[in-house]
Amino acid sequence: VEGSGSKTFSNAKKFLYTQPETAKKLLDMITESTIQYLKAQVEAGADMLQLFDSWAGILSPDQYREFALPYISRICDAVQEVPMTVFAKGAYFVRREMGVLNCNTIGLDWNMDPVESREMIGPEKVLQGNLDPCVLYASFDFIEKETAKMLKSFGKTKHIANLGHGLYPDIEPDKVKCFIQAVKSFR
- Cα separation of 40 and 32, whole Å? 12
Q: Which of 125, 163, 159 has its CA nearest to residue 147?
A: 163
* DSSP code for 122: -
* Full pLDDT tens readout for the chain, 187 residues: 888 888 889 999 999 999 999 999 999 999 999 999 999 999 999 999 999 998 999 999 999 999 999 999 999 999 999 999 999 999 999 999 999 999 999 999 999 999 999 999 999 999 999 999 999 999 999 999 999 999 999 998 899 999 999 999 999 999 999 999 999 999 8
pLDDT at residue number 123 = 94
pLDDT at residue number 176 = 98
Helix, coil or strand: residue 85: strand
Domain ranges of the chain: 1-107, 127-187
Strands (E), the chain: 49-53, 84-88, 105-107, 126-131, 159-163
pLDDT at residue number 3 = 80
